[in-house]
Amino acid sequence: MKKNIVATSCLLAAIFLAAETLFLSSALAQDGKPSTVGTNPFRVAFDGANIWVTSYGSNSVTKLRASDGAVQGTFAVGTSPIGVAFDGTNIWVANYGSNNVTKLRASDGAIEGTFEVTFAPYGAAFDGTNIWVTTYSTNNVTKVLASDGNAEGKYTVGLQPHGVAFDGTNIWVTNQGSNNVTKLLASDGVVQGTFAVGKDPFGVAFDGTHIWVANQGANNVTKLLASNGAVQGTFAVGKNPFGVAFDGTHIWVANFGGNSVTKLRASDGAVQGTFAVGAGPVGVAFDGTHVWVTNQSSKNVTKLRASDGAVQGTFAVGSGSMASGH
């Protein structure tokens, strides 16, 4: 009986992974050509000194020194890693294809544990105590205790949840399949509201007062008041916006189909500039001075100065020798 359950789980995971790959290839195509996955970088996080990038096709995460982009190591994780988050000491990676999350020590990449999260874990965020992981294929979000990896709860959200962010009290989840976002109380997972946004919401970020959501299917971003979910505005950006980050004053949006990032003033949504990056930008993160963008199709990351969008460097990831992390 146990073998049958395991076999069924593996089959479902394979089906979910294939479906998501097809979705990314069709929904995020550039000029009619589907994006390749391969070793392509996906999401990105900052640990205070280094940039961590998941590589979906090579089953790894790469650590780059933020000051100069030098690779500090590439570490094996689970299958098809996507989401990544920093908990103050460790890096957490959501492995879409192997239905688990990997915890690595940020100082040296040593693996501290691998914990089951089913099915199809996608986004990851830290709330100060717990890691929250969206599971694309089961329409829920899982709360994992960061200290030991124990699952503290699983909560139903919308259809095909992707991005996840913490606002200091609540967890916000973008639901690509139902075109809305779910707000949950971080302490107990109780849903505080579900709010309509644009078509195919993916990335999400908190600016201290508002929640910003990238609507991949509508080429815009929605700004909501975090206190009650009221929409404060919808602002056009580039083609197929995916990742979102806040730099303290501005919102940065990675436009997958436009090979660019858009910088908007958080106070009123006014566009401050659109800057070319690599091919197929997906993830975006702020390191205190610079904005880092993962370019899925060109297999690299771009570092831009946040003050003016000037490119400071482009760095290859997801290739070369790989450490086991043990």
Higher pLDDT, 237 or 322: 237
CB 141 within 8 Å of CB 171: yes
Does 119 sit behind a cis peptide bond, omega within 30 degrees of 0 on the bond before it?
yes
Q: Would the pLDDT of 138 be above 50? A: yes
Convert the pLDDT of each residue in 24-54 to its tens digit. 443 333 332 223 223 789 999 999 999 999 9
| Encoded amino acid at 161, one letter | P
Average pLDDT over residues 181-193: 99
Residues 6 or more apart in contact with residue 126 via CB below 8 angstroms: 85, 86, 87, 88, 92, 132, 146, 166
Q: Would the pLDDT of 14 be above 50? A: no
Q: How far apart are CA 150 and CA 142, in angstroms?
A: 10
Average pLDDT over residues 80-87: 98
Average pLDDT over residues 81-102: 99
What pLDDT does residue 270 have?
99
What pTM was computed for the model? 0.89
Question: Sign of torsion, CA 37 40 46 47?
Answer: positive
Q: How far apart are CA 44 and CA 107, in angstroms?
A: 17
Q: How far apart are CA 149 and CA 151, in angstroms?
A: 6
Q: How far apart are CA 107 and CA 171, in angstroms?
A: 27
pLDDT band for position 323 (50/70/90)? low
Q: What DSSP character marks residue 12? A: H
Convert the pLDDT of each residue in 47-82 to its tens digit. 999 999 999 999 999 999 999 999 999 999 999 999
Q: How far apart are CA 102 and CA 133, in angstroms?
A: 12
Q: How far apart are CA 124 and CA 116, in angstroms?
A: 14
Q: Would the pLDDT of 241 be above 90? A: yes
Residues 10/156/93/200 CA torsion (nearest 10 deg) = 100
Higher pLDDT, 24 or 131: 131
Percent above pLDDT 70 for the chain: 86
| Strand, helix or coil for residue 204 | strand
Percent above pLDDT 90 for the chain: 84
Distances (CA, A) of 298 to 30, 49, 130, 215: 13, 24, 33, 23
What pLDDT does residue 22 have?
37
Average pLDDT over residues 200-214: 99
Average pLDDT over residues 222-238: 99
pLDDT band for position 124 (50/70/90)? very high
Q: Would the pLDDT of 326 be above 90? A: no
Task: Please determine, looking at this structure, whether the domain spanning 2-27+37-316 carries the CATH number 2.130.10.10.
Answer: yes
What pLDDT does residue 20 have?
43
Q: Would the pLDDT of 325 be above 70? A: no
Average predicted confidence (pLDDT) for the chain: 90
What pLDDT does residue 40 have?
86
pLDDT band for position 319 (50/70/90)? low
What pLDDT does residue 318 have?
57
Distances (CA, A) of 189 to 102, 111, 239, 240, 322: 22, 28, 33, 30, 37
Q: Where are the domains of the chain?
A: 2-27+37-316
